[in-house]
């Protein structure tokens, strides 16, 4: 059986990098080519496929409709080829990803699925960092991060992973001692548990209840969502958290307080530098995370 004629792989790589980086100049730098050499490679690919993949004007390159369709068709196959070679090569080195993760997201949403990722990409290994200021360290000590934010900084590639509702979460025992409808008099005598980096969740919750000026007996601050849930389960206060956190915890000691749902100002985001998507560990994790819908 005759082999099908394959496109020039170097030209295909030049095309893929140009699309993913959004810049011919950046792609040329990544490949160690001059802009004219990169342009020649892409011209060779256009000649091979018989289609105009880019428009060129003033050194800028933009995908044509045919170029976009070509990318959508070829990108998954290009990645599959890389995986196939990776899986059959004894000389491939480990792929190392330095990932920043908030502990609660890690324990509830990421780690239950990492076995699947390992089976798909056995050479991909992840160094986990749960330290502070994850977003600020992306591109420095971190290749990528999963953060909880109102919106990542400009200049980062960002994928929104969810949208959430804010709930008041507490122990069943404490909830039984409160009336079933919100009472500012009762709530002013309670302790509330608030995450240091998510103060506007409490503001949004109070406004939804029509108690903007509510002053509780105390506000205890935490830098760990996991510890907030445990403190709430122990009856130490009312935790203002995402409904998703309590649901995934599946802790029978916990319950929602009142039948009130408030749209959260914060969401989980995957963030990295745009150029980091050209690094294989980042790309593999990014694509898997988006497809898995964690």
pLDDT at 58 over 80: no
pLDDT band at 147; cut points 50, 70, 90: very high
What pLDDT is attached to residue 86? 61
How far is it, in rounded angstroms, from Cα 239 to Cα 171?
10
What pLDDT is attached to residue 215? 94
Sheet containing strand 157-160, strands side by side:
124-129, 95-101, 144-149, 267-272, 157-160
SS3 assignment for 134-150: HHHHECCCECEEEEEEC
0.85 exceeded by pTM: no
Average pLDDT for residues 64-90, to the nearest whole number?
77
Average pLDDT for residues 154-158, to the nearest whole number?
88
Q: Closest by alpha carbon to 237, among 181, 177, 160? A: 177
CB of 103 within 8 A of CB of 74?
A: no
Q: Residue 219 in 3-state DSSP? A: strand
Cα distances (angstroms) measured from residue 151 to each of 130, 159, 163, 205: 19, 10, 12, 19
Average pLDDT for residues 171-192, to the nearest whole number?
92
Q: Which residue has the higher pLDDT, 291 or 22?
A: 291
How far is it, in rounded angstroms, from Cα 135 to Cα 192?
27
CATH, range 165-265 = 3.40.190.10
Task: Indicate if 165-265 has the same CATH topology as 96-157+268-292.
Answer: yes
Q: pLDDT exceeding 90 applies to what percent of the chain? A: 42
Does domain 9-84 correspond to CATH entry 1.10.10.10? yes
| The token pair that represents 89 in the structure block | 């090569």
What pLDDT is attached to residue 85? 67
| The token pair that represents 292 in the structure block | 């898995």
pLDDT in tens, 121-133: 888 999 999 988 8
The residue written with tokens 């990014």 in the block is 286
Region of 162 (left: φ > 0; alpha: ψ -120 to 50; beta: rest) is beta
Dihedral angle over CA of 267, 272, 138, 275, nearest 10: -160
For the chain, give every domain's residue range: 9-84, 96-157+268-292, 165-265
- For 255, the enclosing helix (H) or strand (E) is strand 254-256
What pLDDT is attached to residue 83? 66
pLDDT in tens, 14-50: 888 888 777 788 788 777 788 888 888 888 988 898 8
pLDDT at 278 over 60: yes
pLDDT band at 4; cut points 50, 70, 90: low
Q: What is the mean pLDDT of the chain?
A: 87
pLDDT in tens, 185-231: 999 999 999 998 888 999 999 999 999 999 999 999 998 889 999 99
pLDDT band at 8; cut points 50, 70, 90: confident
What pLDDT is attached to residue 274? 87
How far is it, in rounded angstroms, from Cα 6 to Cα 205?
59
**Right CATH for 96-157+268-292 from 3.40.190.10, 3.40.50.300, 3.30.565.10, 3.40.50.10440:** 3.40.190.10
């Amino acid at each position: 059986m005759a082999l099908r004629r394959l496109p020039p792989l170097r030209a295909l790589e030049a095309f893929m990098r140009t699309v993913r980086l959004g810049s011919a100049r950046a792609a040329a730098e990544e490949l160690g080519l001059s802009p004219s050499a990169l342009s020649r490679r892409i011209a060779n690919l256009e000649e091979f496929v018989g289609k105009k993949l880019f428009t060129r004007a003033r050194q800028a390159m933009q995908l044509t409709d045919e170029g976009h369709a070509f990318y959508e068709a070829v990108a998954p196959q290009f990645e599959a080829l890389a995986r196939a070679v990776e899986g059959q090569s004894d000389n491939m080195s480990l792929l190392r990803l330095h990932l920043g993760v908030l502990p609660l997201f890690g324990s509830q949403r990421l780690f239950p699925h990492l076995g699947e990722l390992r089976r798909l990409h056995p050479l991909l290994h992840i160094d986990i960092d749960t330290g502070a200021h994850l977003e600020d360290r992306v591109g420095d000590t971190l290749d990528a991060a999963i953060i909880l934010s109102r919106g990542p900084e400009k200049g980062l590639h960002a994928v929104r992973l969810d949208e959430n509702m804010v709930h008041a979460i507490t122990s069943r025992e404490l909830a039984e001692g409160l009336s079933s409808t919100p009472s500012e008099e009762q709530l002013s005598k309670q302790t509330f548990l608030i995450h240091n980096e998510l103060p506007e969740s409490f503001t949004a919750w109070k406004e939804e209840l029509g108690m903007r000026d509510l002053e509780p007996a105390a506000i205890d601050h935490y830098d760990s969502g996991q510890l907030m849930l445990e403190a709430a389960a122990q009856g130490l206060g009312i935790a203002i958290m995402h409904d998703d956190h309590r649901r995934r915890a599946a802790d029978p000691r916990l319950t929602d307080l009142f039948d009130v749902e408030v749209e959260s100002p914060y969401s989980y985001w995957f963030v990295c530098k745009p150029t980091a998507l050209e690094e294989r560990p980042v790309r593999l994790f990014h694509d898997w995370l988006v497809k898995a819908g964690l």
